[in-house]
Amino acid sequence: MKTISVQPPRETGRFTFRKMIDGMDVVGRVTRMTFHYPWLMTFAIAALVAAVVFQLYIPRFLGSAVDNAYGLLSGGANEVAQRALVVTGALLFGASVLRGAFTMLHNYLGEAVGQHIGYELRIAIYDKIQRLDFRYHDHVHSGDLITRGMLDVEGVRLFVNTGIKRFVFLGLLIGIGAYRLLSADLLLGLLSLSFVPLVGWRAIDARLTLRESWHRLQERMSHLTRIMEENLQGIRVVRAFASQQHEMEKFAVASDDAKALTSERIGVSVRNGTFMTFTFYVSMGLVLLFGGQKALAGEITIGQLTEFLAYMTVLQMPVRQLGMLVNSVARATTSGERLFAVLDEEPDIRDKPDARDLLVTDGTLRFDAVSFAYQVGGQRIDVLSDVSFMVRRGQTLGIVGPPGAGKSTIAHLIPRFYDATEGAVSIDGQDVRDVTLKSLRKTVTVIQQDIFLFTSGIENNVAYGNPWADPDTILNATNSAQLHDYIDNLPRRYRTLVGERGVSLSGGQRQRLVIARALLMEPAVLVFDDSTAAIDAATEQRILTSLREQAANTATVIISHRLSSLMHADEILFVEGGRVVERGDHATLLAQNGRYAALYRLQSNPADEPMLKEM
């Protein structure tokens, strides 16, 4: 299990306009993605423009209706005024209906574009995760990748409706509305718009504050996810050490941090909402005061005053949405940066442009002076140094040595989970770096120490590498792995569910199932990376006997701490400190009376352990 840090996430600085400007290339990239669906986006913008036009007509029709109604009240029954009032009412009703219809249409189309982009991004990031090499996954937590593939995709997807379309909507509505107010009466227009800068400023400031706190909340929720994931993966360890209370306290601390930040966000939202509402009504009061005086003086009609008030009501929510627009840009920028950081990541292990499929002829695996190292904080860590060996088809190579000697690294270099720093790994004279990964990994199968079973039937788990395998092939693989008799006694046999939520298998049974999965592929090179450790000695010997019967077409590498697993090998390497310090078959190594012989005596007679420590 990968080591999981449970330290609180690093808090980020407040999102500023400078950060937003720096991230505009991300916004531009998201915007360009809408061009993948030109017709949907074109119709969405057209419907949005139509909705704005009809919404701006509503205050005008409302003012006319008030003037017509006032004329009727003042002058008595007037057929012309009545007809005008009916027509105005019909126009007002029609404009409202059309505004609603076009609003529904542009929201639907915008959401459709957003969902298409979300689908596109989810597929892209999932595909990228499949192709990123082990070196990348060694340094990135799986919970962070899940967060990017869900929350960050959602942040980018929502930008179509909350960012692009809202920008067009607010620009048209505020721009045209302000022009109509100022052109009708400069004083009343200025008073009507006096709330705009204050409300807009508070809306933007509040949204920036909420945006920054949302980002912190997202990281704290990611921290909670990591704690829960670690707990679920290690639930048996937690129970074994009776650490439930410690785990609850750890989770409660992280939950309290998230709750405190949520309360802070609520306070910011309430304070700013109250200020904006107060500012709006103060502006409306001033319009009523001065507009009423103008109406009494005959400078404007009651309907025109009504039109000003209606325009203010129409503009109130769009002005508040300026903050939501900035928030949308900020969220899309932050989410997009995190998302595109994964999508733009180029794996170290990838096919060369001229890579060809691996052509297996003799099935010979060769290491030529192979060394491997990695960097940590600028410091080079050597893992393997000058390792050379050759395994032909029908032969078995055993590798043994103390923990941390580099044995698993040898296994990982064969299928190119990592690349050698120096030297070359080849199969039939073809450098594994020059062939396609797909053909290489169909040729090489590594049965690793870590066992993973999918939540599916036994049959599907065994046939994972070849879903079209026929039942006889699956049966042969489980027979070779000494697992068929156990499966045959299960109620649903090969359809029995296994995995996280399935039937509980013992460690040995799980390892045998993984071995069966590998054997079904009939690889040219088969590597056992200490993969029989949980299997009892008798069962292990039956598996090895079965493998020897099938080994004529396979070059086999067995890495094990248990010498009984590899004593039959044609050659055995004793690896220590990343170097091959002894090599030969079982009898030769015993005759050398070195490290291998000492380990053999230790496993044969534990009383000889002091002798091993002295070497």
pLDDT of amino acid 614: 43
CA dist 573 and 130 (Å) reads 33
Cβ neighbourhood burial of 54 (10 Å; 0-12, 13-18, 19+) = buried
pLDDT tens, position by position, 504-550: 666 677 777 777 887 777 788 888 887 665 566 666 666 666 666 66
**Res 15 pLDDT > 60:** no
Four-residue CA torsion sign, 270, 275, 280, 284? positive
User: At 12, is the pLDDT very low, low, confident or very high (cuts 50, 70, 90)?
Assistant: very low
CA dist 395 and 553 (Å) reads 9
pLDDT tens, position by position, 345-379: 777 778 888 888 888 888 889 899 888 887 776 77
CA dist 386 and 503 (Å) reads 45
pLDDT of amino acid 336: 74
Task: State both tokens at 418.
Answer: 């990592």
**Res 607 pLDDT > 70:** no
Neighbouring C-beta atoms of residue 238, cutoff 10 Å? 16
pLDDT tens, position by position, 463-504: 887 778 778 888 888 777 777 877 778 777 878 777 654 456
pLDDT of amino acid 154: 75
pLDDT of amino acid 548: 67
pLDDT of amino acid 144: 66
pLDDT of amino acid 16: 53
User: How confident is the model over 330-354, as a mean pLDDT?
Assistant: 76
Residue percentage of the chain with pLDDT more than 90: 0
User: At 30, is the pLDDT very low, low, confident or very high (cuts 50, 70, 90)?
Assistant: confident
Is-above-0.85 flag for pTM? no
pLDDT of amino acid 75: 58
3-state secondary structure of 88: helix
User: At 2, is the pLDDT very low, low, confident or very high (cuts 50, 70, 90)?
Assistant: very low
**Res 4 pLDDT > 60:** no
CA dist 205 and 350 (Å) reads 46
pLDDT tens, position by position, 104-158: 998 888 888 888 888 888 887 777 777 776 666 666 666 667 667 666 777 777 7
Query: Chain centroid to CA 380: how far?
Result: 30
Q: Using an 8 Å Cβ cutoff, are 222 and 9 in contact?
A: yes
User: How confident is the model over 228-241, as a mean pLDDT?
Assistant: 75
Mean pLDDT of the chain: 77
The torsion region of residue 5 among left (phi > 0), alpha (psi -120 to 50) and beta comes to beta
User: How confident is the model over 22-40, as a mean pLDDT?
Assistant: 78
Q: Which of 439, 453, 401 is nearest to 589 (CA)?
A: 401
Q: Using an 8 Å Cβ cutoff, are 575 and 406 in contact?
A: yes
pLDDT tens, position by position, 177-220: 888 888 888 888 888 888 888 887 877 777 777 767 766 777 77
CA dist 568 and 528 (Å) reads 14
Sole residue written with tokens 């913008």: 45
pLDDT of amino acid 613: 43
**Res 302 pLDDT > 60:** yes
The domains of the chain, with CATH numbers, are: 17-343 (1.20.1560.10), 365-584 (3.40.50.300)
